[in-house]
Structure 1
Amino acid sequence: MNIRPALALLAAAALTAACTTENEPEATPKAVAQQSSAAAAESGAPAMTRVPWEGGPSYYAQFAKVKAAGWDDPGFFPIGVWYEGVHSAEDVAKDKGAGLNTYVMVTADSKVNLIERAGMHAMTSESRPDSGAETTAWILNDEVDMWGGAGDGAWSGKYPGEGEICTRSKSCGYDIMRKLSGELPADDGRMRYANFGKGVMFWQTDDEAAKFVNEYTSAVSNDIYWYTDPNVCSSGSEGPSLGVEEDSCRRAANYGLTMDRMRELDAADGKRQPVYAFIEVGHPFTEDDAPTINAGQIAGAVVNSLIHEARGILYFNHNFGGPCISQHVLRDACGKAVRPAVTELNRRITSLAEVLNTQSYRWAFNPDLDTMLKAHDGSFYLFAMPGRSGGTGEQKLELPTELAAASAEVLFENRSVPIHDGSITDTFAKEFSYHIYRIRS
């Protein structure tokens, strides 16, 4: 199972509540489409089909505390870390120096006022005496779909390791979500967020999974660790159930598959909410012989998640196995091999926030590549990398006529590529390699 062993038990005692989004206004698909069309007309953007979305930064404007924190600013893109301790200004400075801007769960002894003082943000599991402007969301819980199951039994109030969780039925996940939702202030201007796992991703029917995703939250994520999970590639009830075979399992493109599954479930009720991506930065499983993710794989997983419409990036910052046990991989020596690359990656994301916060266009550039097309401030931005079953080596990207130009700048690589006969030809050395092209119209 993918319940993070030590962390799940620690989090269980600390986690409480969040409140239902029943009375919170949602951006309807029709309203979003109308807003998008108007924006396109004003900016001179091309009349191409758009990828459905929740509204981008404007989604956050419906939550007073989230808006006040600046999340509706097109220049802000959430980059978070899961379950960190914040005990000193030095802690916050290290995290901010790595390009993080949000804490998603903090330890019970954390000093939340230090987060606010540093201009960072928090999503916490309970209203604390020191909760303030930094807190933009309440967390319902982690992976209730797995430890509670998809069912309408009654929750005993117990967490994993504390005894019988459900009464009257083997599964009571929906009752858990309802009860947790009722324990925090209603309509207080903050979002309600939950992370899900293998239940929603693999084990449950679409209807069962969609109920978790759609009925309790205003932002969601799912943590499938394709590079490091010792079971996800081989267990018939996991990766293979979504068509992921062992020889194509440990690829960056499967993080995009996680996003696609969550977005499909989220759309089932006709409304959309932000879906965040979870990426591991070390060795999150206790098995020492499980793989450890490397810097190139982290970057590939993040960029592929962005290509598949992730509205934020959340890092799992814990090593439960491997040669260097740590609960602070992006702070301490255990992360020395990846921290510089993650810091640079976060810098790139932040520099592209105004691009990432626009609505994407649909276009088939190359069936072997995963791609995303956006337009901002007179330029087009094309994100590209290998897909789930190919795309390495030399590849051709066929451009729409709107992208007529002589060349494309390759961002962060100090080079340009020519555009010949309406296409770009470039090389993707590894399955996690990516390029971001800026084409000035």
Structure 2
Amino acid sequence: MSVFFGKPEHAARLKDLGVNVYQEAEHDGSTMTSITDTGMLVIAGQEWTRSEVGANDGVVAWATFDECDMGLGCSGSNTQENLQQMTNLVEKIRAYGDGRPINANYSKGILGTWWASGTMDDFLAAVDFASVDNYAYTSPPVGDAFRASPAWPEGANPAVSAAYGWQVDRMRSFQATPGEKPNWLFVESARPYLGESNARTITPEQMEGAMWSGIIHEARGISIFQHNNDPAYGNYSLVDIPDDRRAKIKAALAGIQALAPVLNTQSYEWNAGAAGTDTMLKAKDGSAYLFAGIGLNGAPGSKTFTLPAGITGNQVEVVGEGRTIQVTEGKFTDSFANEYTHHIYKITI
């Protein structure tokens, strides 16, 4: 669970919220140890020198460019020159010989339109793990860009949580072995520096749904873009927010962190048969876990799920909700109130 370009002095408050990684950090004169001494980890950006990073065990990776697939961060005149700049920077960092993996953040190159045409597979292959940022809930132009993608399902609404899981699918589609290199997903926490008049601010409920959609589609990390220009909140929208909003975000992150031992296991291939949903199946310590959310072009309402053969439990525990559901002939039914609603089901194997 990372924050993008977090302010070093916020480390303790971000950790209390449930964030455990700085995906780059402001280079504001603070020391790297001012972050890592709190127990936070850091993916160091190029603003930080090798001497500032040193042998600090809390610095776990290096970052490269941000959105080089769109020609941002890097400065080539075309996608091939941008890719070459990315490759050159990666080679420079590899030469450090410190064993730290290398990260890049990408954006609209995953859409398969005019950005990074013919090179997105190479951009993803250039680094050890990558993230992607397209703020579908809050930016109508992002929605228009999604609709222009040949991979976008016809008629689907981009301003839903399922659009975030779709982005992870798009990243995996450019990998020779999908998921062999981890994919992370950006989710905004307010209004991410948007200038258009119809820009929106994400709600904590939408934010939670987007994060879980990404995880269900095999995201291995969630990156939070907290910078904000909604005057209702401060610039740092994980820190400068009212207590009630902060409590909701903290609860959402805690729910993810609590399931980390399960999420960090390999998924099983399984079609649970519930139309209009996205699901992920895992197993840990004698229990099966079925994660479910509404898919693109899916609708809220009642959904019936089929469990794999061999499940012995006759009741499903709905994790974190204090309720159970009866299993009948290997199936159970539950309701989804909103497009961002997600449920986690646990049952004895």
- TM-score under structure 2 normalisation? 0.91
Aligned partner of 2:248 in structure 1 is 341
Aligned partner of 1:86 in structure 2 is 8
**Cα offset for 1:405?**
1.8
| Number of corresponding residues | 340
Aligned partner of 1:188 in structure 2 is 98
Q: 2:270 aligns with which of 351, 358, 363?
A: 363
How much is the aligned-residue C-alpha RMSD, in angstroms?
2.2
**CA 1:347 to 1:206, structure 2 compared with 1: closer, same or farther past 3 Å?**
same
**CA 1:270 to 1:339, structure 2 compared with 1: closer, same or farther past 3 Å?**
closer
Aligned partner of 1:425 in structure 2 is 333
Q: Which amino acid aligns with 2:110?
A: V
What are the Cα deviations for residues 298-327 of structure 1, in whole angstroms up to 9, with x where unaligned? 1110111110111111100111x3333633
Q: Distance in 2 between matches of 1:202 and 1:224?
A: 14
Aligned partner of 2:58 in structure 1 is 134
Aligned partner of 2:215 in structure 1 is 306
Aligned partner of 2:35 in structure 1 is 115
What are the Cα deviations for residues 74-99 of structure 1, in whole angstroms up to 9, with x where unaligned? xxxxx100001103xxx222111100
Q: In the alignment, is the contact (CA less than 8 A) between 1:223 and 1:277 conserved in 2?
A: yes
Aligned partner of 2:205 in structure 1 is 296
Q: 2:119 aligns with which of 202, 208, 223?
A: 208
Aligned partner of 2:261 in structure 1 is 354
Q: Which amino acid aligns with 1:198?
A: K
**Cα offset for 1:406?**
1.1
Q: SS of the residue aligned with 1:177?
A: helix
What are the Cα deviations for residues 26-77 of structure 1, in whole angstroms up to 9, with x where unaligned? xxxxxxxxxxxxxxxxxxxxxxxxxxxxxxxxxxxxxxxxxxxxxxxxxxxx
**CA 1:269 to 1:395, structure 2 compared with 1: closer, same or farther past 3 Å?**
closer
Q: SS of the residue aligned with 1:425?
A: strand
Q: In the alignment, is the contact (CA less than 8 A) between 1:300 and 1:432 conserved in 2?
A: yes
What are the Cα deviations for residues 167-203 of structure 1, in whole angstroms up to 9, with x where unaligned? 6x67511121023223334331101000001123343
Q: Distance in 1 between matches of 2:79 and 2:86?
A: 16
Aligned partner of 1:124 in structure 2 is 44
Q: Distance in 2 between matches of 1:308 and 1:361?
A: 12
Q: SS of the residue aligned with 1:241?
A: coil
Q: In the alignment, is the contact (CA less than 8 A) between 2:68 and 2:106 conserved in 1?
A: yes
Percent identity of the aligned residues?
Answer: 33
Aligned partner of 1:153 in structure 2 is none
**CA 1:111 to 1:384, structure 2 compared with 1: closer, same or farther past 3 Å?**
same
* Higher relative contact order structure (alpha carbons within 8 Å, sequence separation ≥ 6): 1
**CA 1:206 to 1:368, structure 2 compared with 1: closer, same or farther past 3 Å?**
farther
Q: Distance in 2 between matches of 1:302 and 1:427?
A: 20
Aligned partner of 1:250 in structure 2 is 159
Larger strand share, 1 or 2: 2
**CA 1:166 to 1:205, structure 2 compared with 1: closer, same or farther past 3 Å?**
closer
Aligned partner of 2:225 in structure 1 is 316
- TM-score under structure 1 normalisation? 0.72
Q: SS of the residue aligned with 1:362?
A: coil
After TM superposition, list the pairs within 5 Å mapping 1:142-221 onto structure 2.
Answer: 142-147=66-71, 165-166=75-76, 172-184=81-93, 185-203=95-113, 204=115, 207-214=118-125, 216-221=126-131
Q: In the alignment, is the contact (CA less than 8 A) between 1:232 and 1:239 conserved in 2?
A: no
Q: Distance in 1 between matches of 2:263 and 2:103?
A: 21
Gaps (5+ residues) in structure 1? 1-78, 149-158
Q: Which amino acid aligns with 2:13?
A: K
Aligned partner of 1:229 in structure 2 is 139
Q: In the alignment, is the contact (CA less than 8 A) between 1:234 and 1:246 conserved in 2?
A: no
Query: Which piece of structure 1 moves more, 198-207 or 91-100?
Result: 198-207
Q: SS of the residue aligned with 1:373?
A: strand
Q: Distance in 1 between matches of 2:197 and 2:246?
A: 21
Q: SS of the residue aligned with 2:282?
A: strand
Aligned partner of 1:102 in structure 2 is 21
Q: 2:290 aligns with which of 367, 382, 391?
A: 382
**Cα offset for 1:241?**
3.4
Q: Distance in 2 between matches of 1:227 and 1:269?
A: 29
Q: Distance in 2 between matches of 1:232 and 1:245?
A: 16
**CA 1:239 to 1:398, structure 2 compared with 1: closer, same or farther past 3 Å?**
farther
Q: SS of the residue aligned with 2:144?
A: coil
Q: In the alignment, is the contact (CA less than 8 A) between 2:79 and 2:117 conserved in 1?
A: no
Q: In the alignment, is the contact (CA less than 8 A) between 2:79 and 2:116 conserved in 1?
A: no
